Amino acid sequence: MESAKKSSALIWLLALVFTVITVGMMFYVPEWFWVPLPFMLTFIVQGFRAM
């Protein structure tokens, strides 16, 4: 159970990091914001344990 909590926390941390990167890229290089988008969405789905 401890390992599941750690991996879940890591997944949510990565989702947050990629969300910040995606939003930042929307402001500074909008034509490239879609590059981190699949990573952000993948980690959010994994965080909700839907995948």
Q: List pLDDT tens digits, range 1-40.
A: 556 666 899 999 999 999 999 999 999 999 999 999 999 9
Q: Which pLDDT value is given to residue 20?
A: 97
Q: Which pLDDT value is given to residue 6?
A: 63
Q: What DSSP line would sit under 21-32, residue for residue?
A: HHHHHHHH-GGG
Task: Give CA–CA dist 37/21, Å, rounded.
Answer: 9
pTM: predicted TM-score of the whole model, two decimal places: 0.84
Q: Which pLDDT value is given to residue 50?
A: 86
Task: Give CA–CA dist 19/16, Å, rounded.
Answer: 5
- For 38, half-sphere exposure in the C-beta direction (CA atoms, 13 angstrom radius) is 2
Task: Give CA–CA dist 27/50, Å, rounded.
Answer: 30
Q: Which pLDDT value is given to residue 3?
A: 64
